[in-house]
Chains A and B, each alone.
Chain A
Amino acid sequence: MRYDTSLLEKLKSEFPDDVLNMEATGPMPHALIKAASLKRIVGHIRDDKGFNMKYLNCITAVHVTDEHEGKFRSLGFNLIYNFTDADFSRSISLKVYIEDHGDGSINNVVPSIDIYYKSANWFEREIYDLMGIFFHYSKDLSRILLPPDWVGHPLRKDYSEQPSYNDMPTGRSDELQSLRLV
């Protein structure tokens, strides 16, 4: 990916309040932005001639956790958006951090960008399915990879499997285990 750090500086200068931080070093230079201003910024970098980011490479979600005194703590989620411009010469990465208060208040914080990119809907559906992040104003947010009556979001670090799915046991059965065949 051809990252151009001057683009990050340009973004910071155009949105001084919304860009919280800029990581210009490292293999993936990115700009950390506020969740509420995601849609505005994405719309700007898609349409503005200075950015012209017409191609969405990927949307990724990471579950940020912490091992604090032997106790596992879920801190929040990082959403990483990778864009490339229309000539495929420069790329930019945006990062959004959502805090996890543990009571479901992570929902409805991140707006969906599927009005700008037609492929964003499926990326966001996959993130909702596997991580549980709800995208506000999405035109169709439903489980995509897992069956619609699945409980839980598997890619989270604190995910534990449901014991049975539609009356089928998901773990290994006791008989086989007692025979020590598994």
Chain B
Amino acid sequence: MALIEFDKKLHKGTVQNRIELVRISNEEMVINMGPHHPSTHGVIRIVLRVDGEFISQARPDIGYLHRGIEKIAEGMSYHSFMPYTDRIDYLAAVNCNIGYAQAVEDLGQIEVPERARYCRVITAELNRILSHFMAIGPIATDLGAYTPFIYVVREREFIYKMMEAITGARLTYNYARIGGVSRDITDEILRDIEKYLDHLIPFMDEYHRLIGANKIFIERLVNLGVISKSEAMSHSLSGPNLRASGIKHDIRKDDPYLVYDRLNFDVPVGTGAEGTIGDSYDRYLQRIKEILESEKILRQAISSIPSGETLGKVPKRLVLPKGEIYSHTEAPRGELGYYIESDGKSDRPYRLKIRTGSFSSMTTLAVKIPGMMIADAVAFFASLDVVAPEIDR
């Protein structure tokens, strides 16, 4: 009995009630997708008002994974906050690490040695490949094809071995430090990475032939959830979602950081192959193209990595000068921005704000989902590639 009372109290004024207060027509039904759901990537709840199969209103309800990372940061020193950045986006942990390290280094004018920058680039690109694998696998799974996901998991195992050799962990690496990286990459590991890259391109070809060129897959994703250029800008999309809508913007090229200005790579854009520019199939293809670009970057970085130190001299009690900075990097899910404000006296941030790509991708749901069918909504949501910890922090 107590449990039912608890539920009633909780539901007053919640998302569900807000939709039900509006007059529901006789055939409509309020349905709840999540938080326990195999295909919302993480714990995300979307309340849908459906009429048979067609959705007439959608309202995402997030916050199930809110851990208060920003508040925690105000009580920790800059150095000891690094493991928390892993958990912002656990599938692309190194990118989150180096984004935070870069924000602190830019505010404090701290020099990073050359070799450390190359190490950061190499691990960041490997992590980008890992993350994009985990994006294209679940798209297939949400559509009913379970085999491509297992292939993707198998490929990730190869990269896990290399990342474990470099950093010591398989998923949350805690690799970057303020002023450099924690461990060096030995030559043996670099040769292993090159050998893996030889295997990667034929695998991508095989994967695309298995599921990407499959007629049923294409029919399910084409012309679904088309996000036009102006809509993508207005929704503050970033990363592969933005590029799939036709806008050629990559922070590694437009606002280069680390050594990306010395590396030679393209920025692939969605071209509307098989459908319109900015549909879900374009977002899927975009990630495949970006894996191929990451392979190019990795080869160049491995061949031109200099020798030297991997960690600059940074005081243990690091006090940043008074001021504020907003610094952003290109994470696999979009623009990862760190806003740090320091009050010049303590070794803790006064305010740390994290801006993630998945948060702004979620704003497209309430606009795009109405009108789709439930199965389409699942496919569209999978193509956006959000992870719950990035949204909730």
**The stretch of A6-14, A68-76, A99-107, A114-122 that contacts the partner chain:** A114-122
Interface residues of B in 373-393 (CB under 8 A from A): 392
Known: A28-B323, A28-B324, A119-B360. A58 touches B235 (CB 8 A): no
CB of B63 within 8 A of CB of A147, answer: yes
Expressed in whole angstroms, the Cα–Cα distance for A57 and B329 within the complex equals: 12
Contact string, B24-46, partner A, CB cutoff 8 A, digits 1/0?
Answer: 00000000000000000000000
**The stretch of B83-91, B281-289, B299-307, B333-341 that contacts the partner chain:** B333-341
CB of A28 within 8 A of CB of B337, answer: no
Known: A122-B360, A155-B71, A166-B10. A56 touches B255 (CB 8 A): no
The listed residue (B10, B66, B235) touching A149 by CB distance below 8 A is B10
Interface residues of B in 300-347 (CB under 8 A from A): 323-328, 335, 337, 339, 341
CB of B255 within 8 A of CB of A145, answer: no
B365 to chain A, nearest CB (A): 10
Expressed in whole angstroms, the Cα–Cα distance for A69 and B230 within the complex equals: 52
CB of A89 within 8 A of CB of B254, answer: yes
Count how many pairs of residues, one from A and one from B, have CB atoms less than 8 Å apart in the complex.
104
Interface residues of A in 137-155 (CB under 8 A from B): 142-149, 154-155
Known: A28-B325, A80-B339, A145-B392. A121 touches B363 (CB 8 A): yes
Q: How many residues of A contact B (CB 8 A)?
A: 38
Known: A57-B337, A58-B337, A145-B392. A1 touches B326 (CB 8 A): yes
**The stretch of B124-132, B177-185, B349-357 that contacts the partner chain:** B349-357
Residues from chain A with a CB closer than 8 A to the CB of B341 are: 62
Chain A residue at minimum C-beta to C-beta distance from B70: A155
Tell whether A128 is near chain B: CB-to-CB under 8 Å: no
Tell whether B68 is near chain A: CB-to-CB under 8 Å: yes
The listed residue (A1, A118, A154) touching B327 by CB distance below 8 A is A1
A70 to chain B, nearest CB (A): 15
Tell whether A93 is near chain B: CB-to-CB under 8 Å: yes
Known: A54-B233, A60-B353, A118-B234. A145 touches B62 (CB 8 A): yes
Residues from chain B with a CB closer than 8 A to the CB of A155 are: 70-71
Tell whether B106 is near chain A: CB-to-CB under 8 Å: yes
Chain A residue at minimum C-beta to C-beta distance from B335: A57
A44 to chain B, nearest CB (A): 17
CB of B68 within 8 A of CB of A122, answer: no
Residues from chain B with a CB closer than 8 A to the CB of A20 are: none
Residues from chain A with a CB closer than 8 A to the CB of B350 are: 62
Contact string, B251-265, partner A, CB cutoff 8 A, digits 1/0?
Answer: 000110000000000
Tell whether A169 is near chain B: CB-to-CB under 8 Å: no
Tell whether B236 is near chain A: CB-to-CB under 8 Å: yes
CB of B324 within 8 A of CB of A80, answer: yes
CB of B63 within 8 A of CB of A119, answer: no
Interface residues of A in 40-62 (CB under 8 A from B): 54-58, 60, 62
B62 to chain A, nearest CB (A): 6
B181 to chain A, nearest CB (A): 23
CB of A148 within 8 A of CB of B339, answer: no
Residues from chain B with a CB closer than 8 A to the CB of A144 are: 62-63
A135 to chain B, nearest CB (A): 15
Expressed in whole angstroms, the Cα–Cα distance for A63 and B353 within the complex equals: 12
24 contacts between A and B (CB under 8 A): A1-B326, A1-B327, A27-B106, A27-B107, A27-B323, A27-B325, A27-B327, A54-B230, A54-B234, A55-B236, A57-B326, A57-B355, A60-B355, A80-B324, A86-B233, A118-B231, A119-B360, A122-B360, A122-B363, A130-B70, A145-B62, A145-B63, A146-B63, A148-B15
A58-B326, A82-B326, A86-B233 are known; give 12 further A-B pairs, CB within 8 A: A1-B326, A2-B254, A58-B337, A63-B351, A80-B324, A89-B254, A118-B235, A122-B363, A147-B14, A154-B71, A166-B6, A166-B9
A-contacting residues of B (Cβ < 8 Å)?
6, 9-10, 12-15, 18, 62-63, 66, 68, 70-71, 106-107, 230-231, 233-236, 249, 254-255, 323-328, 335, 337, 339, 341, 350-351, 353, 355, 359-360, 362-363, 367, 392
Q: Sorted from nearest, which 7 A-B pairs have the closest CB atoms?
A: A119-B236, A145-B63, A27-B325, A58-B355, A118-B234, A145-B66, A62-B351
